[in-house]
Amino acid sequence: MPAQMFSMEAQPEGGARFSLQYKHAERGGIQRLSCDLARGDLVQLVLFAEALSLNQSLAHPQDSQVEINGLSLHYTAGRDLLSVTRQAGYSRQDCDLPLRAFLGEMPQMTDLCIAEAEASKHGRVLLALLAECTLPVPVAAQLTQDKADQILHQLREIALLVLAQEAAVKSSVLARKLRARKSLDEAQTLVQQVIFALSEGVIPALPSDTEIPLPIGKVAT
């Protein structure tokens, strides 16, 4: 049966607690499903929620799934429920979670993760680079200006979370570009490419042979 109560509670040491209550079809009383998510796990859940929200706003839902340390959430396009599974050792719990309840609870977690990404070592630089990013022309042409602005804003948030994680790895290409002032143009290209790749994922109506060009003057690395 669908969960009757769902909550996400931020933890003082970082991360959050995922918790829901539901009635089991064959058992009496209220069942509880909960688990603690570390910072990185929470970011993955936020990315899943942001992608769902973006697809819903475009009226083009797609099947998607995320698996995080024994917790699995699966969405089937056309349903208004998420399938939730919690596996802990030999114990397994399954229930449905209303999509609206999930998306309604996640914005505070998104804000938390974005605040941490902005405060990270390369956060300010990434924000500046993302501010210069645009949607691919073929994608923007399919949207009204208001919708394009909304989509670009969400894509920048998603990209910030992804890029902040990559930049935290000192040996990554992005981290090396960000450390060298002379390589910021190349870092800008990498960041724009992430926006382009994300936009392709949420605007599936583009013909398969449509090319999404890099910004003029930029060279892929």
Q: Who contacts 161 (Cβ-Cβ below 8 Å, separation ≥6)?
A: 43, 46, 47, 113, 114, 117
Domain ranges of the chain: 5-105, 120-202
H or E segment to which residue 18 belongs: strand 16-23
Q: What is the DSSP string of 89-129?
A: TTEEEEEEEEHHHHHHHSHHHHHHHHHHHHTSTTHHHHHHH
Six-digit token string for 72? 């699995």
**Residue range 157-172: mean pLDDT, rounded:** 95
Residue 96: CB atoms within 10 Å: 16
- Place 3 in a pLDDT band, splitting at 50, 70 and 90: low
**Residue range 178-203: mean pLDDT, rounded:** 88
Instruction: Name which residue leads in pLDDT, 189 or 143.
Output: 189
Cα radius of gyration (the chain): 19
Q: What is the pLDDT of residues 73-123, one digit of tens each?
A: 999 998 999 999 999 888 899 999 999 999 999 999 999 999 999 999 999
pTM attached to this predicted model: 0.86
Contacts within 8 Å (CB) and 24+ apart, 27-36: 30/4, 31/93, 31/95, 33/3, 33/84, 33/86, 33/93, 33/95, 34/86, 35/69, 35/70, 35/71, 35/86, 35/88, 36/11
Residue pair 18/25 in contact (Cβ under 8 Å)? The answer is no
End-to-end C-alpha distance for the chain, whole angstroms: 50
Taking Cα atoms as reference points, which of 90, 86, 95 lies closest to residue 23? Answer: 95
Give 67's strand partners. 72
Q: What is the pLDDT of residues 13-69, one digit of tens each?
A: 889 999 999 887 666 678 899 999 999 999 999 999 999 998 888 877 889 999 998
Describe the strand order of the beta sheet including 81-88 as a list of residue ranges. 64-68, 71-75, 81-88, 91-98
